[in-house]
Structure formats: C-alpha cells, structure tokens
Amino acid sequence: MNRKSICPLCKGTMGPGKTTFTVDFGSGLVVFRNVPADVCQQCGEAWLGDSVASSVEKIVQEARSGQREFEVVNLSAKAS
C-alpha cells in the first residue's frame, strides 16, 4: 500500500492512510479502528490490502466462534 494509485470510483489519487471498518456478521458486529488502507484523497473511499483483509477476516472468525455480539478492535494496538 505504499504506492499511489487511482481510485476506481472517482479517479482521484489514492495513498496510504487509515480508516474505520465495520463488519456485521448477523449475530454480532466488529468495528475495526485505525485500519491501514489505501485512501482516496478526493472521495475518501478506502481499500484494504490483502494482508490487512486477511487479518480482519481472522478476527471476525474469532469473534463469530466466540459468539461475541460486539467488539472494537484497534489495529494500531494489535500491530505493536
């Protein structure tokens, strides 16, 4: 995610940033804060890289199997 690219929605310039990402899996909700992403400088749309998406998916699976109804995950804190 260190390279600049073009936003597929508005054709603006994308660059590294952070976003908040929410996953509603029916029986629960996980909110991810400080998620590393490519963020459009024009429209604000954020795109997760493959490794970040894999981390998010793993955490959601853990929340689902633990039957947690609500969880907030700070990915900056997880990285340190």
pLDDT of 33: 98
pLDDT of 76: 84
CATH number of the domain enclosing 19: 3.10.20.860
Query: How many domains would you assign to the chain?
Result: 1
Whole-prediction pTM: 0.81
The pLDDT averaged over each successive group of 10 residues in the chain (80 residues) is 78 96 94 97 96 95 92 79
pLDDT of 4: 65
pLDDT of 34: 97
Print the domain residue range for 25.
5-79
Distances (CA, A) of 65 to 1, 26, 30, 47: 30, 13, 13, 26
Q: How many CB atoms lie within 10 A of CB 63?
A: 20
